[in-house]
Amino acid sequence: MSLRLGDIAPDFTADSSAGKINFHEYLGDSWGILFSHPADYTPVCTTELGAAAKLKDEFDKRNVKMLALSVDGVESHKSWIKDINETQHTTVNFPIIADEDKKVSELYDMIHPNSNENFTVRSVFIIGNDKKIKLIITYPASTGRNFDELLRVIDSLQLTANYSVATPANWKLGEDVVIAPAIKNEDIPAKFPKGHKEIKPYLRTTPQPNL
């Protein structure tokens, strides 16, 4: 059965490039990002893991723990990491799950027969500190993931989890947000003391409330 937004992220225990990991214990009270790769030594994924490593400090600022996955073994991962560090001029600083038996891939529905019945597709799961899945994206093998976009999404998810707002198209941290339709006009001043604009009765904006 496919996972959906709001489902509890399935727990698992697996070997990784950083030793054995229990997923829920690894996350603790943090948010998490789990992203899969078809196999080691794949070119696009080599660039992705390098890009992710360079942004680890940004994920740390947001209390997000990173975890990658590939269907090859630990020793292969460790050797691949050396290539990633060399070619991408960085240091991979988060674990890569060794999913040789594909248990985690199957648990998270990462294997799509229409794509390739042997390899995981390139999926991304963002998991909240309540262990619930907040976002699922699946990319084709030919298109590299945009980790700046994933950080933007996390900023939106964390903001909207705590305030009665939504973020508009192309929103970035620090820009105005949309007030939830359920908030009555008379309640806006108390909830959003920075003020608001009414563009239409159903479209009301306010400065980002947590800045």
Q: Is the pLDDT of residue 33 over 70?
A: yes
The string of DSSP codes covering 86-133 is HHHTS---S-EEE-TT-HHHHHTT-B-TTT-SSSB-EEEEEE-TTSBE
Q: Return the CATH superfamily for domain 13-144.
A: Glutaredoxin (3.40.30.10)
Percent of the chain scoring above 70 in pLDDT = 95
Of the candidates 21, 33, 34, 45, the residue annotated as catalytic is 45
What are the pLDDT digits (tens) for 128-173? 999 999 999 998 888 899 999 999 999 999 999 999 999 999 999 9
Nearest to 32 by CA among 113, 172, 135, 108: 135
Q: Return the CATH superfamily for domain 163-206.
A: Antioxidant, Horf6; Chain A, domain2 (3.30.1020.10)
Q: Where in the chain is the domain with CATH 3.40.30.10?
A: 13-144
Question: What is the pLDDT, as a whole number, of residue 116?
Answer: 52
Average pLDDT in the 20-37 region?
97
Chain position carrying tokens 């996350």: 27
CA distance 108 to 113: 14
Average pLDDT, the chain: 93
pTM flag (> 0.95): no
Q: Where in the chain is the domain with CATH 3.30.1020.10?
A: 163-206
Q: Is the pLDDT of residue 86 over 90?
A: yes
Question: What is the pLDDT, as a whole number, of residue 38?
Answer: 85
45 belongs to the catalytic site: yes
